[in-house]
Amino acid sequence: MSSIGLGKGPQGELADLSAAGLLRTLKPLDSPTGPRVIRDGRELWNFASNDYLGLASDPELAEAFIEGVRKYGAGSAASRLVCGTLPPHRLLEDALAAAKGTEAALVFSSGFATAVGSLPALAGKDDVLVLDKLCHASLIDGARLSGATIRVFPHNDTAKLARLLETIRAKQPAARVIVVTESVFSMDGDLCPLAEIIELKDRHGALLFLDEAHAFGVLGPHGMGLAAQLGLQHRVDFQMGTFSKAAGLSGGYLATSTAWRDLLVNRARSFVYSTAPPPALAHATIASLERIRSTDGDHRRKQLRENISILSAKHPSPIVPVLFGTNDAALAASTRLEEHGFLVPAIRYPTVPRGTARLRISLSAAHSPETIAALASEIGHR
């Protein structure tokens, strides 16, 4: 067979990734997820997952999932617009809208599907999307798919954002302009300056698309995110989030007005052309949302904050990065920690910028203070 036009082939590309310290491989667990897991026959303390409230292995949540299967079956069998909308889907969306203080909400199969479906539905070639430089890959991909003009401002730099918005409005007074950012950034664990961003988007007639993926369940009254914590939910046009982190399940959502929701139902391709999430999953997610907003959820958030303070006294989120710079150094640190019984992933380009390879520590309310103190001691001896 001729190899003309095939380039170096997959083996060559894999070799290049390996040489650069960027090769990834699947490393399955041999146990359910939780604060303690088994990999390759070894027990490890799990500081790699986003299970911030410890709900992923919660027996009551598992029972809610089983109950959903008994009531509604295993799958939805069609897209939402055909015949895949079952009672739990609507009940979940109504509960989310009430929790987020919006008129409506729409559920997607994943957070990634939410971003890559919503942004192209909301903006087109005559519009402008203004993204924080450290926005998640799903937001970047969604922006690219939209065909809109994309402008990027340095991470959390509101002065640069202000200048960009002024320039855009001067050149394109009629354009739909949407500022896109995250409330908790997934690799640094820092917060966006939300109040300042809202003031700027209002001043310049823009909209705000806020990804609360890593804040949902963690921040604010009843865990409803940074916008709720600051009392600004009513001023955020699009509140995105996921159920795959603090909620302990999977799926994504966008909370917004009824009119915008209806537009997404018609235009968001990842919604229109995807089989609906299993109704049992939606049923379990309702139970998870109730837990997050309950006194038990408050207790778990209190424990999570205490756990964060053990590792980093003033850090605002459960994501604590430890920077090493080079890929080899981060990989070596991750391997050494695993040898000592701790699962902490090395994060490298393209997930983070070149030269900023790091360990990404994810804390949970399910971790014991003693275990976190032991991890802190190991990191201190690097």
- Which CATH number is 89's domain given? 3.40.640.10
- Kindly state whether residues 155 and 255 are assigned to the same domain: yes
| pTM, to two decimals | 0.96
Same domain, 349 and 235: no
CA 95 vs. chain centroid, Å, equals 20
Active-site position among 214, 237, 244, 307: 214
- CB–CB of 21/331 below 8 Å? yes
Q: Are residues 160 and 114 in the same domain?
A: yes
Peptide bond into 350 cis (omega under 30): yes
Q: Is residue 276 part of a domain?
A: yes
Residue ranges making up the domain that contains 324: 25-52+318-380
Which pLDDT does position 1 carry in this prediction?
45
Q: What is the pLDDT along the chain (382 residues), one digit of tens a residue?
A: 455 666 788 999 999 999 999 999 999 999 999 999 999 999 999 999 999 999 999 999 999 999 999 999 999 999 999 999 999 999 999 999 999 999 999 999 999 999 999 999 999 999 999 999 999 999 999 999 999 999 999 999 999 999 999 999 999 999 999 999 999 999 999 999 999 999 999 999 999 999 999 999 999 999 999 999 999 999 999 999 999 999 999 999 999 999 999 999 999 999 999 999 999 999 999 999 999 999 999 999 999 999 999 999 889 999 999 999 999 999 999 999 999 999 999 999 999 999 999 999 999 999 999 999 999 999 985 5
Catalytic residue among 182, 188, 212, 237: 182
223 and 347 in a single domain? The answer is no
| Dist. CA 64–CA 2, nearest whole Å | 55
CATH code of 363's domain: 3.90.1150.10
User: Active-site residue 182, yes or no?
Assistant: yes
Clarify whether 222 is annotated catalytic: no
Tell me: do 235 and 358 sit in the same domain: no
Q: Has residue 12 been placed in a domain? A: no
169 found inside a domain = yes
Catalytic residue among 89, 136, 283, 367: 136
Q: Is 283 a catalytic residue?
A: no
Same domain, 37 and 69: no
Catalytic residue among 49, 183, 186, 362: 186
Phi, psi (rounded to 5 degrees) for 98: -65, -40
Alpha-carbon separation of residue 287 from 60, 68, 270 (angstroms): 9, 10, 25
Residue 50 annotated to the active site: yes
> In this structure, are 260 and 325 located in the same domain?
no
The question of whether 103 is a catalytic residue gets the answer: no
Question: Catalytic residue among 89, 201, 245, 283, which?
Answer: 245
Catalytic residue among 51, 93, 132, 211: 211
Give the chain's domain count. 2
Amino acid at the residue 382? R
Whether 272 and 170 map to the same domain: the answer is yes
> Domain for residue 232, yes or no?
yes
Start-to-end C-alpha separation, the chain: 51
| Active site annotation includes 211 | yes
Judgement on whether residues 169 and 95 belong to the same structural domain of the protein? yes
Longest dimension (CA), the chain: 66
The answer to whether the CB of 58 falls within 8 A of the CB of 32 is no
**Using only C-alpha atoms, what is the Rg of the chain?**
21
Examine the residue annotation and report whether 186 is marked as an active-site residue of this protein: yes
**Token couple for 52:** 């911030």
Q: Residue 108: name the closest of 148, 142, 67 by CA.
A: 142
Identify whether residues 41 and 161 lie together within a single domain: no
**307 assigned to some structural domain:** no
**Cα separation, 253 vs 251, whole angstroms:** 7
What does the pLDDT read at residue 380? 80
Is residue 360 in a domain? yes
Q: Is residue 305 part of a domain?
A: no
**Tokens describing residue 121:** 């539905």
Query: Domain check: are 275 and 371 in the same one?
Result: no
8 Å CB contact between 72 and 280? yes
State whether 276 and 338 are in the same domain: no
